[in-house]
Structure 1
Amino acid sequence: MHTLILSISFSVAVSIFLKLARGGGIRVDQAIAVNYATAVALSLWLLRPPLDTLFERPPAAWLILGLLGILLPSVFLVMAAAVRQAGIVRSDTAQRLSLILPILAAFLVFHEAVSGRKALGIALALCALACLLARPRHTGTGSPSGTSPSASAVATSAADDEARGSAARGWLTLLGVWAGYGCIDILFKQMARMGAGFTGSLLLSFTLAGLLIGLWLLARRTRWHARSLASGILLGGLNFGNIYFYIRAHQTFPDNPTLVFAAMNIGVISIGTLVGAGLFRERLSAVNLLGIGLALGAIVLLFPR
């Protein structure tokens, strides 16, 4: 269980970093590039994968590594676009709802047995997710002061086409976030099944992801920012811990991927909600607190006896 707790803790730390980065003048894309270079260095130093057999892998393993190498940096960038187009709340919701995809994969791909206890745990997890993501609605105040209803209607009509286009782009980015994070969870489970060879696979996926985002930044003729590059070292350490212990958790519970998928997603958002209230003074509603209770109940039900 400690592997899950460590993975959740590192993941929450990554979220805190990204939240602080937005207001700290850090260019996240550059930090992400250094993050993968740091993860490569930590893989070599701490995991010591066998380099002499690093490239001796079956075609299926290379397919998983290739997909991870593309998705890991791409989803970061899609998430940033989703935040711009659709807002932080919707983007975070799309990321958390990606839990549905790996849970389906647990039964359809990994052939996990379904029991009444497990089905109830999944139902509680989804209810907890809905409660944790609930936010108060804000109502509008009508036309701005000093603007006639007819002028407001004309302005609204003129902006309709642009608004529809922006909304369509926003939904596409949200779909990308939802599918991207869900697929990454499934691919990490597949990597965990590689056994002892996963350390080399982890190194290769970090290397490929770093190369792709580095080339993307060079193609954009990025002007490098010292603070962003330096902060990427911290992000890399946190992200390495998150992914490493997440894969270890799958290896600890090889026959119960639903527990890992659900506990990770629900655990991150539950602790993130509490951290948001404690550090960033975000308000918690009774529904949010109910969600935390349901999340704990779901994990208890999913945990093997």
Structure 2
Amino acid sequence: MINLALSILFSSLIFIVFKLFYTYKIQTLYAIIANYFVACLVGLFFYKDPVIVSEIPYKPWFIGAFFLGFLFIVVFYVMAKTSQQLGVSVASVATKMSLVIPVIGGIYLYNEHLTPLKTLGILLALFAVYFASIKKGKGVFKPKTLLLPFLVFIGSGTIDISLKYLKEAFVSEAEIPLFSSFTFLTAGIFGVIFILIKAKKQPIKVNFKNVVAGIFLGIPNFFSIYYLIKALGESNFSNASIFTINNVAIVLFTTIIGILFFKEKLSSKNWIGISLAICSIILMAM
């Protein structure tokens, strides 16, 4: 239970840091890339055995970690944009509603049965993402604004099912820090490649403020994944229970933080979306 609670805490901190990026005019992409290298170093610090670089490509989790690294940089960037443009609670709901993807993946990977309640939960989740994404304002709501939370939804769900699969099939308890570090390193490398491509049109400018922001993001980012993987390995909780408790708590916590500290205004439709989100997670856990 402690590992799960710590994962919830650090995951919630990520959304708060993203919101602060906008407040302090942080260049999101540069800070995200710096964050991954910081997270990699934190993981290596917690890895007890000597790191033999030449052996890493032969690890059974190598390809999976490489794929996750690519997803991390893409989803993190889209998540940051969602938090800034649509609000912390919207990004949180879109991320946590992605629980439907591990549920569907469980049907094919682990022969789990999709009950009528879980089917209803999936439908409610889709409506939740829609309602939570509608913002108040003078302008007319455009359906294309749903693209950001939808991409977060798909990307986060793919990451969840991949973490579950890799942990159960290939990653031992002792290698969790090394696995996490390599995944973050891969994400950072992909980010650098992306920046170098952009540099052809826009010169790279190193900003100390972006690096500091990356440090503040990298520490909770590492521990959110580290403790989630450890929680998935606990025998006294099922994977469905872990993902359910984790997602509900983060949705509630980040929503409260958004209202109290960032003065986010939620419409009645937003509250409906958040309520549907909680209901859908509970239904999928039953």
TM-score (norm 2): 0.77
Q: 1:98·1:182 contact (CA, 8 Å) conserved in 2?
A: yes
Partner of 1:159: none
| Superimposed CA distance per residue, residues 26-83 of structure 1 (whole angstroms, 9 cap, x where no aligned partner) | 111111111111111111112235423433323xx23311210111101123345667
Over 3 Å counting, the alpha-carbon distance change for 1:219 and 1:115 in structure 2 is closer
Shift of 1:279: 1.6
Q: 2:258·2:264 contact (CA, 8 Å) conserved in 1?
A: yes
Shift of 1:189: 1.1
Amino acid at match of 2:232: H
Partner of 1:54: 56
1:195 to 158, 172, 184: 172
SS of the residue corresponding to residue 212 of structure 1 reads helix
Amino acid at match of 1:57: K
Q: Does 1:229 align with 2:204?
A: no
SS of the residue corresponding to residue 192 of structure 1 reads helix
Find the aligned partners of 2:266 and 2:80 in 1 and give their Cα distance: 25
2:128 to 114, 127, 130: 130
Identity value in percent: 24
Alignment of 1:126-275 (within 5 A): 130=128, 134=132, 138=136, 170=145, 173-193=148-168, 194-196=171-173, 197-221=175-199, 222-253=204-235, 256-275=238-257
Shift of 1:273: 1.2
Find the aligned partners of 1:141 and 1:255 in 2 and give their Cα distance: 46
Larger Rg: 1
Q: 1:4·1:264 contact (CA, 8 Å) conserved in 2?
A: yes
Give ranges in structure 2 of 5+ residues lacking alignment.
none
Find the aligned partners of 1:167 and 1:45 in 2 and give their Cα distance: 45
Shift of 1:173: 4.7
Q: 1:253·1:260 contact (CA, 8 Å) conserved in 2?
A: no
Over 3 Å counting, the alpha-carbon distance change for 1:283 and 1:98 in structure 2 is same
**Count of aligned pairs:** 275
Shift of 1:139: 7.9
Amino acid at match of 2:21: A
Find the aligned partners of 1:243 and 1:83 in 2 and give their Cα distance: 19
Find the aligned partners of 2:135 and 2:266 in 1 and give their Cα distance: 14
Shift of 1:261: 2.0
| Superimposed CA distance per residue, residues 133-162 of structure 1 (whole angstroms, 9 cap, x where no aligned partner) | 6488748699xxxxxxxxxxxxxxxxxxxx
SS of the residue corresponding to residue 54 of structure 1 reads helix
Find the aligned partners of 1:49 and 1:299 in 2 and give their Cα distance: 40
Q: 2:31·2:213 contact (CA, 8 Å) conserved in 1?
A: yes
Over 3 Å counting, the alpha-carbon distance change for 1:260 and 1:111 in structure 2 is farther
| Superimposed CA distance per residue, residues 84-110 of structure 1 (whole angstroms, 9 cap, x where no aligned partner) | 8x8447655543332210122233323
Q: 2:35·2:217 contact (CA, 8 Å) conserved in 1?
A: yes
Find the aligned partners of 2:139 and 2:272 in 1 and give their Cα distance: 30
Cα RMSD (Å)? 4.0
Find the aligned partners of 2:147 and 2:6 in 1 and give their Cα distance: 33
Find the aligned partners of 1:297 and 1:77 in 2 and give their Cα distance: 26
| Superimposed CA distance per residue, residues 171-212 of structure 1 (whole angstroms, 9 cap, x where no aligned partner) | 555543222111011111123222233332212111111111
Find the aligned partners of 1:215 and 1:236 in 2 and give their Cα distance: 19
Find the aligned partners of 2:29 and 2:133 in 1 and give their Cα distance: 28
Find the aligned partners of 2:74 and 2:252 in 1 and give their Cα distance: 26
Partner of 1:150: none
